[in-house]
Amino acid sequence: MIINHPLLGPRDSEEFVYLGSADLIDRPDWESRTVADDFHQYQYIRENIAGDNRELWYHEQGDQSWLLVTRNTLTHEIINVELAQDVSRSMGRGK
Amino acid sequence: MSQINRIDGGLIDQEKPVSFTFNGQLLQGYEGDTLASALLANNKHLVGRSFKYHRPRGILTAGSEEPNAIMEVGSGAYKEPNTRATVTKLYKGLYAKSQNHRGPLEFDFMAVTDFFSPLLSAGFYYKTFMWPKAFWEKVYEPAIRNSAGLGTLSKEADPDTYDKGFRYCDILIIGAGATGLSAAITAAQSGAKVILADEDFVMGGRLNSETNEIDGLPGSEWAIKTVAKLSAMDNVTLMTDTTVFGAYDHGIYGAIENRDVEARADKDKPRQVNWRIYTKRTILCAGATERSIAFGNNDRPGIMLASAVRTYLNRFAVSVGQRVSVYTNNDDGWKTAKDLFNKGVNVVAIVDSRSIEPVMRVAGAQIFMGTDVVGTKGRRAIKSIKLSNGKTIETDTLAVSGGWNPNLHLTCHHRGVPKWNEELATFVPDSSAPVGMSIAGRAKGTMVLADAIVEGHNQGSAVAAELGYKASNSDPASTPIVAYNISAQWSVPSGNNRAWVDFQNDVTAKDIKLANQEGFRSVEHVKRYTTLGMATDQGKTANVLAIGIMAENMEQTMEETGTTIFRPPYAPVAMGAFAGRRRGMEFYPTRYTPSHKWSAKQDAIFVEVGMWYRSQWFPKPGETHWRQSVDREVKQTRSSVGICDVTTLGKIDLKGIDVSEFLNRIYVNAFAKVPVGKTRYGLMLREDGMAMDDGTTARLSENHFVMTTTTANAVSVYRHMQFCHQCLWPDLDVHMISVTEQYAQYAVAGPNSRKLLQKIVDPEYDISNEAFAFMAAGEITVCGGIPARLFRISFSGELAYEIAVLTRYGDSLMRVLMEVGEEFDAIPYGTEALGVMRVEKGHAAGPELNGQTSAYDLGMGGMVSGKKDFIGYTLGLREDLQRDDRLQMVGFKPVNKNDLIDKGYSLAGAHLLGLRDDATTENDQGWISSSVYSPMLGCYIGLGFIKGGQNRKGECVRAVDLVRGSDVEVEICSPHFFDPEGERLRV
């Protein structure tokens, strides 16, 4: 596969390490009332998506960016590639 | 007699003879021959025995689809079984042997299996070897293994080299026949970067085998002219002898370039190159493959595909017989009769299953329309054929054409499903080809050459235009239109005679029928039950024929029957080609520590730790057992000073105003207030609460930290930290980089370590106990101005330091430390002594940080902060992880100190049981994870996990090692065996 890195352009997927669902960005608040449930969901519960899946890839053999890759799990078409830190910020995560 | 079947002409060089050996006989062919054409020139029709029945078999095809003519090529370690003679370019000294027979090829002792064929039908193995059950291991399996498989392996390491290569293009054109050449010319003329690949060693495809005329030239000459034109263009790469074997995601193709001839001439040259070709667009022009017809005894040597007969005749100047018959269900078969006649070969009969007017007249040939061949005679070579009208015809060769199947394999590598075309009586690609791939010519089902050329021409320019290149406005090459009409004919009723479908796996029409009768209706099930299409040729000549037979058996359409799934590789690829240069020591990179050269000089024994080579111990003269060296290293370190290369630890440099906060969130313990000039031990968890890694982090200045990780987890911890920063807390001001390879680091341990270091640390730096206390860290200089980092940390439990310098000083620092250490009898120590000392001190390491242990299990619950969020905090609080009866890490020592000493092995791996319990899984309470002989305590000691261990100190249990046969009573104790108060490291 080829991942179109937002900063470096098209790169072979061999340069990357796959992590999993981009939901991992959305780490729950440790002080929430439902913290036990929240973390259980966060850590273990995953949709097995047949279609567009948002997932995290790490450019280990490259610039060490974490990328959010939107990939169709049926066709392997890559629809979108973003820097995970931009997405994280846009989701309201900061410090 | 030499080359009795050779005639004049052909695309070979009859001035250049090439000698080769087949089954011990020295034979001659010509430059330009394949092994198969050279064998046929020498009238060698019988070239092998079939897989199951050991039937005599001859060359069936002239291409990569060959099921029969597979042999062992090369000798000794170079021998490769199952090599297709039809695609093996002849070279001087080529050494070939037929395979799958015992005794000589002509008198195979295993041919007796042919007479038992009624017993060996579809599903034979499943039905026969079920009982008695006890027979399987001793009788059936050895017998089957003995007779299974084609060819034999050399059982030596492959002496050849294989390379990998990468190429990039706008347009990859697969297949350099008339269509591919037409596409390549227009694509290239537009300016696009083009790669044209063909599996043959000569470009031109079927043009080299036929007698077409293109633009007024013989087809093969037009091909040469076109190839010359292409090779003169800078934007074109021509790849002959290159099989594109797989279509992968996003326009990536795998291709194998065969360079056997070059490798035989120069053994430093790679034998094959595994190319990865990155494309923007691909045009598949792979042509088509002819299929046979299933009639009685259709597998005799001398029965060949009609197109192969033409290839041998026109391209290789070999007349495969003197009295040839043709059996066809389509117009194309007639070409064979015509070409043979034009070259003066007798055509005795043309048999066409269609009830139509004869396609042409061929002088001397009897013509039978609406007639089938129902049987043949001749054990080692065909002698006659029997027709459905009862006539028998004497013949020495039968050319069969059952029609053409487009080579659509690559169009289906992304799960595309071909569709049935009634008019062409074959499957053609549908619209589900991989993204970026278009198809032209006979691969698409465009069977008429004139149309295929136009199609290639148009697609070449259209695809280039899609990529923004200016389409060329040249005209396509012109050739007379020759019609292709066909009427499907799959199998002919042949009485008791078997009609072969899959020649390589010996599957007959009857086997397919039996499978259908027994309820195997899905094409995928029939394939697996009969092994149809599962041989090395992957059923290229067999599959469509088999589907036709299935459809007839089950009275359903071809579409309903469907095809099996096509998967890469299209043709066999040697494992060596996938490995490339990554063999032996090159399997992965080898990493040497800065002290490696010095250590090698000391005769150090090295151990692979991940990719690193680390010194395991340093034997001294007279030491004959590793334990002698290790015990000495431990004692000498604990009594004076030892030096150990710890460069392999992961080192991460962190800068930024939020680093302390960041560390606070990834370690269980508090890091927010580490003072400048101090080091702190930290434990990291995974988000699920299990220990991930541990190490020390030093604060060199307000906003500058340096962290160490374990050797094994250096990469994954850094990745995790990048995740935490980029994905979870992107606005923390943290910048990090791995500096593992930038710094050499040595542990200097033992009571004399300070004295030793004081001799090299520059005098302006005070490293006395008062000025540089336990856990101090600082940037210093050594040896007169060399920058270094000094950490007063201890894994050994002794007064100890770790000193880091830039890697380029690493080698000399080791030498200097040893030199100045001479007065203290300083010794180097390896990973074994390191391990002994860490177990004596009860430090958890890899065997304890095994992914199933929490901070509490490791006895580090006290470190876990309750006042902050950190990775693993919430899930680490789960009830089950807090239970008292979890497997907890503790120490173990034998009740009888002398236990195991005579045996010479440790407690490692032993399981723990109550004293009166039997050694059963149910009674298992835990295990010993690390165990060493402690020279300080004079006995074996261990770290391990036992249920509720932290509250069971003083209790005795059994440590049972059923593998090595020991059973030792051990006492559960604190893991801190040596200097439990830690007094030695603070002095």
Q: Is the pLDDT of residue B270 over 80?
A: yes
d(CA B530, CA B532): 5
pLDDT tier at B248, thresholds 50, 70, 90? very high
What is the CATH code of the structural domain delimited by B162-288+407-466? 3.50.50.60
Kind of pairing between the strands at B612-617 and B591-592: parallel
DSSP code of B787? E
**B661 contacts in chain A (CB < 8 Å):** 95
* Nearest Cα residue to B850 out of B958, B923, B928: B928
Is the CB of residue B871 less than 8 Å from the CB of residue B949? no
Domain ranges for chain B, please list them: 13-107, 162-288+407-466, 292-402, 499-561, 588-647+741-829, 652-739, 868-986
Instruction: Provide the pLDDT for residue B101.
Output: 82
Quickly tell me which residue has 């599996």 as its tokens: B199
Q: Is the pLDDT of residue B404 over 70?
A: yes
Instruction: Provide the pLDDT for residue B149.
Output: 64
pLDDT tier at B146, thresholds 50, 70, 90? low
Q: Is the pLDDT of residue B955 over 70?
A: yes
pLDDT digits (tens, 9 = 90+) for B872-882: 999 999 999 98
**B723 contacts in chain A (CB < 8 Å):** 19, 24, 56, 58, 66
Is the CB of residue B674 less than 8 Å from the CB of residue B779? no
Nearest chain B residue to A35 by CA distance is B874
pLDDT tier at B118, thresholds 50, 70, 90? low
Position with higher pLDDT, B656 vs B432? B656
Q: Which domain holds residue A21?
A: 2-90
B840: amino acid identity, one letter: E
- The answer to whether residue A39 sits within a structural domain is yes
Instruction: Provide the pLDDT for residue B125.
Output: 65
CATH topology of domain B652-739: Alpha-Beta Plaits (3.30.70)
pLDDT digits (tens, 9 = 90+) for B386-401: 999 999 999 999 999 9
Q: Is the pLDDT of residue B235 over 70?
A: yes
CATH of B499-561, one of 3.10.290.10, 3.40.605.10, 3.30.460.10, 1.10.10.1100: 1.10.10.1100
Does A64 contact chain B (CB < 8 Å)?
yes
CATH topology of domain B588-647+741-829: Gyrase A; domain 2 (3.30.1360)
> For the residues B830-857, what does the mean pLDDT come to?
96
Which residue of B414, B729, B869 is in closest CB contact with A30? B869
B584: amino acid identity, one letter: G
Q: How much is the mean pLDDT over chain B?
A: 94
Instruction: Provide the pLDDT for residue B119.
Output: 64
pLDDT tier at B472, thresholds 50, 70, 90? confident
H or E element that contains B579: helix B575-579
What is the CATH code of the structural domain delimited by B868-986? 2.40.30.110
Instruction: Provide the pLDDT for residue B102.
Output: 76
Q: Mark yes or no for CB contact A39/B715 under 8 Å.
A: no
Q: Can you give the CATH number for the domain in which A20 is found?
A: 3.30.2270.10
| C-alpha separations of B450 from B219, B314, B323 in Å | 12, 20, 32
pLDDT digits (tens, 9 = 90+) for B373-383: 999 999 889 99
Q: Which top CATH class is B13-107?
A: alpha beta
pLDDT digits (tens, 9 = 90+) for B15-71: 999 999 999 999 999 999 999 999 999 999 999 988 888 889 999 999 999 999 999
Identical fold, B162-288+407-466 and B292-402: yes
- What angle (nearest 5°) sits at the alpha carbon of residue B971, between those of residues B967 and B972? 120
Instruction: Provide the pLDDT for residue B145.
Output: 65
d(CA B802, CA B342): 88
d(CA B122, CA B51): 14
Using the CB atoms, write b or e for B624-661: b if 16+ within 10 Å. Answer: eeebebbbbbbebbbebbbbbbbbbbbbbbbbbebbbb
pLDDT digits (tens, 9 = 90+) for B537-592: 889 999 999 999 999 999 999 999 999 999 999 999 999 999 999 998 899 999 99
d(CA B599, CA B232): 57
Which residue of B252, B719, B875 is in closest CB contact with A17? B719
| C-alpha separations of A58 from A49, A82, B498, B720, B777 in Å | 20, 12, 58, 10, 33
Instruction: Provide the pLDDT for residue B283.
Output: 98
pLDDT digits (tens, 9 = 90+) for B693-706: 999 999 999 999 99
- Is the confidence metric ipTM above 0.85 for this complex? yes
Instruction: Provide the pLDDT for residue B131.
Output: 65
What is the homologous superfamily of the domain B292-402 according to CATH? Answer: FAD/NAD(P)-binding domain (3.50.50.60)
Instruction: Provide the pLDDT for residue B361.
Output: 93
Does A16 contact chain B (CB < 8 Å)?
no
The sheet that has B392-394: what strands, in order across it?
B373-377, B384-387, B392-394
**A19 contacts in chain B (CB < 8 Å):** 723
Q: How much is the mean pLDDT over chain A?
A: 96
* Nearest Cα residue to B971 out of B954, B959, B949, B951: B954
CB pairs under 8 A between A and B: 78
- The answer to whether residue A95 sits within a structural domain is no
pLDDT digits (tens, 9 = 90+) for B78-99: 999 999 999 999 999 999 999 8
Distance, CA of A3 to chain centre: 13
Q: Is the pLDDT of residue B332 over 60?
A: yes
pLDDT tier at B128, thresholds 50, 70, 90? low
Q: Is the pLDDT of residue B783 over 90?
A: yes
d(CA B510, CA B463): 47
Instruction: Provide the pLDDT for residue B126.
Output: 67
Distance, CA of B369 to chain centre: 51
Taking any CB pair shorter than 8 Å as contact, residues of chain B touching chain A are: 248-252, 278, 414, 435, 658, 661, 687-688, 715, 719, 722-723, 725-732, 869, 873-875, 878
Length of chain B: 987
Instruction: Provide the pLDDT for residue B177.
Output: 98
d(CA B796, CA B655): 29
Q: Is the pLDDT of residue B278 over 90?
A: yes
Q: Mark yes or no for CB contact A1/B250 under 8 Å.
A: yes
Does A49 contact chain B (CB < 8 Å)?
no
Which residue of A24, A28, A95 is in closest CB contact with B727? A24
Question: Model-level pTM?
Answer: 0.91
> For the residues B203-213, what does the mean pLDDT come to?
97
Q: Please report which residue ranges of B381-470 form alpha helices under DSSP H.
A: 449-466
Domain count for chain A, please give it. Answer: 1
Is the CB of residue B927 less than 8 Å from the CB of residue B909? yes
- The answer to whether residue A80 sits within a structural domain is yes
Residues facing B693 on adjacent strands: B684
Q: By mean pLDDT, which of B96-110, B599-613, B739-753, B830-844 is the weakest?
A: B96-110
B163: amino acid identity, one letter: D
